[in-house]
Amino acid sequence: MKFLLGLFLFSVLLTTGASIECEICKGVNNCTSERQICPEEYYACSSSLLENSKVKDVYMAKECAHPEICLFGVITMTDGNGSHIRQVATCCEEYACNPAAPILPERNTRANGKICPGCSSNKGDCSAAVTECIGSETYCVSYVTLSEKNVVIGSRKGCIREGTCTHLKTFDGGIFHDVNHVKNVQCTPAVAATTSSSPPPPLSFPLPFGFLLLALLLMKLLL
């Protein structure tokens, strides 16, 4: 519904040649700014919170956006053993509107027994470490971020929810407050972490074999 409304407004704006205006700012927990005119391809104002375990503070960004960023709900990724990144965004699509305050729910910190390669880099490819997945993250994701000129800027690998990964494959935009578009998204089911490899029970193979020998011996004796 909202999407249709967005499309409708978008077409109205296109035909009238007007663009919407949004606050564009970034700050710790909250930010505010004068409104600026958005580029025509962006027809929503978004307000989003970003939590990154590698950064002390939660950041808010307000920007001109494609409303699809709001269809994800909370994007949560464990992008290294013990490190994670999360984002939630709200959007509004009317002229000079104010998006609702986004809220990041408390993070589930329970390991779910699955593992993925995890890493992140804003300088090209990253080398992954075995990463324990958390909560409902049952898929492994890998993606790169590309500049407008299709140059690889960064990369991220880690545990993610299946639905988020599927959605990312068709998403043409940036996440985690990164303007560079997410590309080459790969989604694979996370594998179970192997419990400390216990040797097979010592008698499982020799036992029937032993009985066979005994039986043969008895037959020999009886004949």
Ligand X SMILES: *[C@@H]1O[C@H](CO)[C@@H](O)[C@H](O)[C@H]1NC(C)=O
Footprint of ligand X (CB under 6 A): 30, 32, 81-82, 101, 130, 132
How far apart are the C-alpha atoms of 154 and 106, rounded to whole Å?
A: 28
Output the smallest distance, CB 13 to ligand X, in A. Answer: 26
Q: Which is nearer to ligand X, 33 or 122 (CB)?
A: 33
**How many Å is the Cα radius of gyration of the chain?**
26
Beta-ladder partners of 3? none
Output the smallest distance, CB 169 to ligand X, in A. Answer: 27
Q: Which is nearer to ligand X, 38 or 49 (CB)?
A: 49
Pure H helices in the chain: 2-16, 162-170, 206-222
What residue has token string 């080459």? 184
Q: Which is nearer to ligand X, 16 or 198 (CB)?
A: 198
Output the smallest distance, CB 123 to ligand X, in A. Answer: 24
Output the smallest distance, CB 32 to ligand X, in A. Answer: 4
Q: Which is nearer to ligand X, 79 or 180 (CB)?
A: 79
Contacts of residue 116, defined as CB under 8 A and 6 or more positions apart, other chains included, come to: 78, 131, 133, 139, 140, 141, 157, 158, 159, 190, 191
Output the smallest distance, CB 136 to ligand X, in A. Answer: 19
How far apart are the C-alpha atoms of 105 and 124, rounded to whole Å?
A: 31
Q: Which is nearer to ligand X, 13 or 111 (CB)?
A: 111
Phi, psi of 84 (to 5 degrees): -145, 165
